[in-house]
Every structure is written in C-alpha cells, then in structure tokens.
Structure 1
Amino acid sequence: MSGLLALLDDVAAIAKVAAASVDDVFGQAMKASGKAAGAVIDDAAVTPKYVHGFSADRELPIVWQIAKGSLFNKLVILLPVALLLSAFAPWAIPPLLMLGGAYLCFEGAEKVWHKLNPSDHHSDELVEQKKADATLEKRKVKGAIKTDFILSAEIMTIVLTALPPELGIVQVAGSLAIAGVLITVAVYGAVAIIVKADDAGLAMAAGGRLSATRATGRFIVRAMPTFLKLLVIVGTAAMIWVGGNIIVHGLHELGWHAPYDFIHHQAVAAAETVGRWTGAVEWFVTAALDGVVGLALGLILIPLTKPIVGLFGKTAH
C-alpha cells in the first residue's frame, strides 16, 4: 500500500509539473502574441476586402477558407522554420525580423501614397467583383492566403523573438503553436463579425420587436462604412509604427545606436515636460517617431519593392 501511495504522489507531482508547464507555455504565448499587435491589426483590417463583392451567403465560407490557409501557413510551414532558425541560426532572426518590419513599412506607406495620389488602380478589381463567380472566389482566396503568409511570417517571427531564451524547444514549439492558433482565431473571428455586422444590423432594423433593437440595427448599418474606414486607418498606422519600431530596434541590436538613442532621448525629454502621464507621453512620442521612420523607409521602398510584392498576390489589397 505504501508503494502505491508513493506512486500516486509521484504521479500527482508529475501532473503538477505538467500543468505548470502548460500554464507557462500558454502564458508565454499570450505575452508574445501581444508583441505582434501591429501585424495582427493589419491582418484583421485587410481581410474584409477579400469578401467584398460576393453574395452574403459566400462571405463566411470565404473567411473560413482563408482562416484554414492561415493556420496551415503558421503551423505547418512557418512553425518548423522558426524552430530550425531558433536552434541552428538564431543570428538570422533579427535580420529576418527587420525584413518583415520593412515590409510593414512598405505596405503602410503604399496605402498612404495611394490615399494621397488616388488613381484608377482599383478599376479592374471592381469590374472583377461584379462578376463574382467560383473562379474569382478561388483566385481571391488564393491571393488572401499568399498575403497572409507574409503577415503570418512576421507574426511568428515577432512571437519567437518575444519568447524567453531559456525555454526549451518543446516549450517554444508549444508557445508558437498556441500563439498562432489564438491569433488566427482572433483575427478571423473578428473578420467574420465585421463582414456580417451589416447583415445583422439589417435584420435587427427590419425584424426587431423593440424600437431600441430596430434603432440599434439602423445604427450598425450606418456605422459600418465609417468603422471599416477607421479600421483601415488604424491598421495602416499600426503597420507603419510597428515596422519602424522593428527597424529601429534591429539597427540598435546590430550596432547602429543613433536612431534608437535619438528617439529615446526625445521621448524622455517630452515626458519630462509634463507633470503627469509621463509613461503615456514617452510611449506616444516613441511611437510617433518610430512611425516617421517607418513612413520614410516605406516611401523609399515603394518603387523598389512593388514588383517583388506583386508575386505574392498583393494586388487585391
């Protein structure tokens, strides 16, 4: 009996260690996921455009197809690559992260450029959307998954660099997998809600029993166009800010400290001029200056990068 009790104690101890390990992996995944906020917001802001022009009954199936492709990108392709880099070439991670940051700068700056210099570059796409058939749907989904691959690579790299270096390979793999799944569910769950919000609003406005329900439905219908525009603005700002921040920190790690030191000193100086909210002021100034760096770099990259990005199906943005 004493042997059985000792065995049960050992099993309980192992279970506690395993539970603590799972909690630690989940906690690390949650913390690391927050570092990828800029790319995540961009992903959520971009994806609704891929369902524009299709009938309401095809919106959720299209979002589901893109979500499955995103999970495949993160878990089947990018996670093993991230583990290999972490184990055999950790020196390559900062340059790759900077490459992803440069892409975010490019895409954000391109959106700003097109806003300031409107053209008919979307006219062909609008014609295509009016002919929304099965072939077009497959083409749109394929293009969305290709674009998601770039954003997912950025997300997984950011998550990997945010994990503590002392984690073992199993914990790193678990953290990356959990973060990939959580981010995908969050992004495409939000996208599903966004693309169906106007339909829900119409249903509430037309069939609500209470006047408050009908008024809420009308408000949702009226607010959605403005909300989508705001989402694009937030996503663009996040791309430029996060991209610039990645570049500045990457240069700092590689030995060029001037941009990082300048931004840090300016942020600290601005924070010292206020009597309260110093942390918020320092963060805001840092983000703004990182954004200036990101926008400047992105504008430089537009003529250099556009032909390459076209290979990844970005024309549907």
Structure 2
Amino acid sequence: MSVGLLALLDDVAAIAKVAAASLDDIAGQAMKAGAKAAGAVIDDAAVTPRYVHGFAPERELPIVGKIALGSIKNKLIFLLPAALILSLFLPWLINPLLMIGGAYLCYEGAEKVYATLFPHSAAHHEAKVEPSAAHAEKLEAEKVAGAIKTDFILSAEIMTIALAAIPAGNIVNQALVLAVVAFGITGVVYGGVALIVKADDFGLYIAKNGRTAWGRALGRGIVKAMPGFMRTLSAVGTAAMIWVGGGILIHGLAGFGLHDPEHWIEDAAHAVQAAIPALGGILGWLSAATLSGVLGLVVGFILIPVAEFAIAPVLGLFRKEKPAAR
C-alpha cells in the first residue's frame, strides 16, 4: 500500500474521530439545553391534551399526530432560523416578541377561565372573536390550528431557553443542537400526550381481556379515573398557559429595566421557602407560579375585550369573502 494512501486513510480516520466527537458534543449540548427548558416542556405537555378532549377515540391519535407535525414545523421551519437570525442581527427584538407571545398565552388561559365563570358571555365573545365550525372536520381543524398556535408560543420559549444554554460562536453547531432539541422535546411531549389520551382505551382492553381478577380490576380503575384525570389535566393546562404567560411578561419587563415585579416575586418565594424549609423548593416554586399566574390572569382578562372590540373587527375584514365575479 502506498504511503499516500496510508496518509489519506489516516486523514479519514482523524476526520471520523472529529465528527464523532462533534456528534457527542452536539448530543451533550442538546441534553443540557433540553434540561434548561424542562419547565416549559412540562407546561407544553400539560396544555396539549385539552385540545384532544371531547373528540371520538379514533380521532385522538390522528389529532395528536397533526399537532406534533405542526410543532416540528414550528420549531424547525420558523423558530430555529428565526432564533439564530435574531440572536445574530436583532437580539433586542427577541424580548418584545416573547412578551407578545406571553400576552397571547395569558389571553388564551383567561378566556378558558372566563368561559367557566360566565359561560353565556364567553359563548358570545367566542362567536364574535372566532366563529365556531359547523362540521366535525372543520371543528377538528380549528382545534388543531389552535393547539399549533399555542405550541408556537411554548416552543418559542423552549427554543430561546435552549439557545441561551448553547455556547456562542459556531452557528452550524447551534443549529444542529437546536434541531436535536426540537426533535427530542417534540417526541417526549407528544409521545407522552398520546399515552395519556389513549390510557382509557388501554384500561378498557385489560378490563375485558385481563388474565387475572386484579388485572381486570386495574383496567376498570383506569377507565373510571381517566375522565377526572383529563379534567384535572385540562385545568392544569389552562393554569400553565396563564402562569407561563405571566412569567414571560415579568421576565420581559425585567429585560426592559423594570425589575421590581420580578424581585417582588423572588422575595415572596424566598420568604415561603424560609418559613417552611422542609417543603421550601416546592412551595417556593408554587408561590412564584401563583403570583405570575395572578398577573397573567389580570392581563388576560384585560385582553378579552381588546380582542373582541379591537382585534376581531380588524381580522373580520380579512375573513370576509370577496364577492364572486359576475
């Protein structure tokens, strides 16, 4: 074998080692970045099942699949390039854009609370803001579109947190890490959602086909528990939208120099932790989430009439169909 060929093989082996090291580095950075965004991931998982609730069982997994596909598109086609471009050229624009998304989450969550407290007024508001679909297919499409819009805001937060956790410098490396985070988090969230929404079908199956009395009893227990669990998860999802939206707004205000709201919440959380050290971590987080949620709910309720009387009429102009040509 010639010396030149041996040298070439050595170079190929060296390149392979570098590539393997780079892949390991990308995977490691993706794990760290994903861990940083864990809170937003949990919120995303809590929010999504409420969009599937109420549909026929055979439509649940297809709906989850459509939302998951929309989530991947959100992250890879829109958010990944936007995050890199903004971080390079317009970093000052990231904060206000996130705050707009946070305000939308507050509105979405407050609208659900409003519907619970004042169902008739909420139905009137919903009819003016977004007319309901007459057919099941259109209703499903509207639910999927609403879920993808909400996912876009949560995914933007996830991708922003992940980008902040990646070492600056190599834009290709950043893009690859964000892509790994996007696929990994989407798989975890929507895989978990699929398991949740099909748990009642699994319970029904083992209730009918279990080989032991204990197994059949477990299946019946799952079937009986799931409606209450789904209602609870729906409420948690609504609360998650409100406290995440409020948290984004508070953090955004701090980015504009208004640090007092963030400091007040941190001081309250620290006071709760000091008062009950044994449960300090949980209660501190809960108090911070509650205070963020209060702000988010106030902002959301303010935005309900704004959406009805200012935004909806403008959007209505675009929804109107042009008259057919004669």
TM tier, smaller: 0.7 to 0.9
Instruction: Please state whether the residue corresponding to 1:36 is helix, strand or coil.
Output: helix
Question: What does residue 187 of structure 1 align with?
Answer: 189
User: Does 2:49 align with 1:45?
Assistant: yes
**Cα deviation code 1:121-165 (max 9, x no counterpart):** 67999xx99x9xxx6325523541354134224322442244236
2:26 counterpart residue number:
22
Cα distance in 1 for partners of 2:167, 2:26 equals 16
Equivalent of residue 263 in structure 1, options 256, 262, 265: 265
Residue in structure 2 matched with residue 87 of structure 1 by the alignment:
88
The one-letter code matched in structure 2 to 1:72 is: K
1:114 aligns with 115
Q: Is contact 1:109–1:240 with CA below 8 Å preserved after alignment? A: yes
* Counterpart residue type for residue 282 of structure 1: G
Unaligned stretches of 5+ in structure 2? 317-326
- Contact 2:266–2:288, Cα closer than 8 Å, also in 1: yes
Partner of 1:281: 283
Of 288, 296, 299 in structure 1, the residue corresponding to residue 298 of structure 2 is 296
Q: Does structure 1 conserve the Cα–Cα contact (< 8 Å) formed by 2:45 and 2:192?
A: no
- 1:31 partner letter: A
- The one-letter code sitting in structure 1 at the alignment partner of 2:218 is T
Q: Which of 36, 45, 48 lines up with 2:40 in the alignment?
A: 36
How much does 1:42 deviate?
4.5
Q: Distance in 2 between matches of 1:38 and 1:191?
A: 11
Q: Is the 8 A contact 1:242 1:291 kept in 2?
A: yes
Shift of 1:279: 3.5
CA distance in 2, matches of 1:284, 1:139: 35
What residue number does 1:252 align with? 254
| Secondary structure at 1:187 match in 2 | helix
| 1:165 to 1:88, Cα distance in 2 relative to 1, 3 A | farther
2:302 corresponds to which letter in structure 1?
I
3-state secondary structure, aligned to 1:119: helix
Q: 1:67, 1:192 → 2: CA distance?
A: 10
The separation in 1 between residues aligned to 2:75 and 2:214, in whole angstroms, is 43
Q: 2 CA distance for matches of 1:280 and 1:28?
A: 22
Indicate whether 1:145 and 2:145 are aligned: yes
The CA distance in 2 between the partners of 1:32 and 1:175, in whole Å, is 13
Aligned partners of 2:273 and 2:250: how far apart in 1? Answer: 20
| Per-residue deviation, residues 79-99 of structure 1 (Å, max 9, x unmatched) | 222222222211110111111
Structure 1 residues 192 and 279: alpha-carbon distance in aligned structure 2, compared to 1, 3 A threshold? closer
* SS of residue matched to 1:232: helix
* The one of 234, 237, 242 aligned to 1:235: 237
Q: Distance in 2 between matches of 1:306 and 1:41?
A: 29
Q: Relative to 1, partners in 2 of residues 1:306 and 1:45: Cα closer, same or farther, differing over 3 Å?
A: farther
Shift of 1:275: 4.4
In 1: Cα distance, 2:113 partner to 2:142 partner: 25
| Per-residue Cα deviation, 1:65-116 (whole angstroms, up to 9, x for no partner) | 3322332233223322222222221111011111111111111222122112
Q: Which amino acid aligns with 2:113?
A: V
Percent identity between matched residues is 40
Aligned to 2:222: 220
The alpha-carbon distance between structure 1 residues 42 and 225, as it changes in their structure 2 partners (threshold 3 A), is same
**Aligned residue pair count:** 303
Instruction: Report the Cα offset of residue 5 of structure 1.
Output: 7.8
Q: Is the 8 A contact 1:43 1:148 kept in 2?
A: no
Q: Quick check: 1:97–1:158 contact (8 Å CA) kept in 2?
A: no
- Secondary structure, aligned partner of 2:37: helix
Task: Name the TM-score, length of structure 2 as normaliser.
Answer: 0.79
- SS at structure 1 position matched to 2:81: helix
Kept in 1: contact 2:115–2:123 (CA 8 A): no
Cα distance change, pair 5–178 in 1 and its aligned pair in 2 (3 A): closer
Judge which range, 219-228 or 108-117, deviates more: 108-117
- State the match for 2:58 in structure 1: 57
- Residue segments in structure 1 that go unaligned for 5+ positions in a row: 313-317
Q: Are 2:163 and 1:159 equivalent residues in the alignment?
A: no
Q: TM-score if structure 1 supplies the norm length?
A: 0.82
Question: Could you say which residue in structure 1 is the equivalent of 2:320?
Answer: none
Question: Conserved in 2, the CA contact under 8 Å of 1:38 and 1:242?
Answer: no
Aligned counterparts of 1:75 and 1:188: Cα–Cα separation in 2: 16
Quote the Cα distance in structure 1 between the aligned partners of 2:71 and 2:95: 23
Provide the C-alpha distance between the structure 1 equivalents of 2:182 and 2:49, rounded to a whole number of angstroms: 18
When the two chains are superposed, the root-mean-square deviation of aligned CA atoms in Å is 3.2
1:25-68 CA-partner distances (Å, limit 9, x unpaired): 3224422431423641354233313xx343x4343233323322
Structure 2 counterpart of 1:152, which letter? F
